[in-house]
């Protein structure tokens, strides 16, 4: 009989109740149904509710793409440009994550355009140095 897997260590919550890695802010500009949206989910958010057509799926798509996911993952469109709001040329997704300390934040910005191009994918400078140190970067032309 296999031994039970050990439990994951508990990650301590900060004074603000957020844990490292929690989404503390999402900002969308010209993305799917939104002209502009800025929302600050609470530290224990794990559910998005609203009436039909209110943009729940758009918000979930923004989170997936903003954290580096590929469009094929979502099953809606195969190109990143399809997520730009209809009638617009470009848009962006900005997601801010809680870092290790109360005042530390990691901000990711993904700029896209209708030519199916990822214009830019930026991290805070100090966090990008940390990521590059731990991963093998790949340049795509």
Residue 92 lies in a domain: yes
Number of domains in the chain: 1
Strand 23-31, strand 105-113: pairing: unpaired
pTM of the model: 0.76
pLDDT digits over 55-67, tens only?
888 999 999 988 8
Residue 65 lies in a domain: yes
Range of the domain at 91: 23-134
H/E element, 59: helix 56-66
Backbone angles phi, psi at 24, to 5 degrees: -105, -15
Residue 10 lies in a domain: no
Instruction: Look at residue 94 in the predicted model and tell me its pLDDT.
Output: 94
């Amino acid at each position: 009989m296999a031994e039970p897997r050990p439990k994951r260590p508990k990650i301590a919550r900060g004074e603000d109740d957020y844990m490292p890695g929690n989404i503390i802010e999402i900002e969308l500009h010209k993305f799917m149904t939104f002209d502009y949206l800025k929302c600050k989910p609470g530290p224990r958010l794990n559910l998005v509710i609203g009436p039909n057509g209110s943009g729940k799926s758009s918000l979930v798509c923004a989170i997936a793409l903003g954290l580096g996911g590929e469009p094929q993952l979502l099953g809606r469109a195969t190109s990143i440009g399809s997520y730009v709001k209809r009638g617009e040329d470009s848009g962006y997704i900005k997601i801010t994550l809680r870092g290790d300390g109360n005042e530390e934040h990691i901000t990711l910005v993904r700029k896209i355009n209708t030519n199916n191009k990822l214009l830019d994918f930026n991290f805070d400078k100090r966090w990008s140095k940390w990521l590059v140190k731990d991963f093998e970067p790949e340049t795509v032309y």
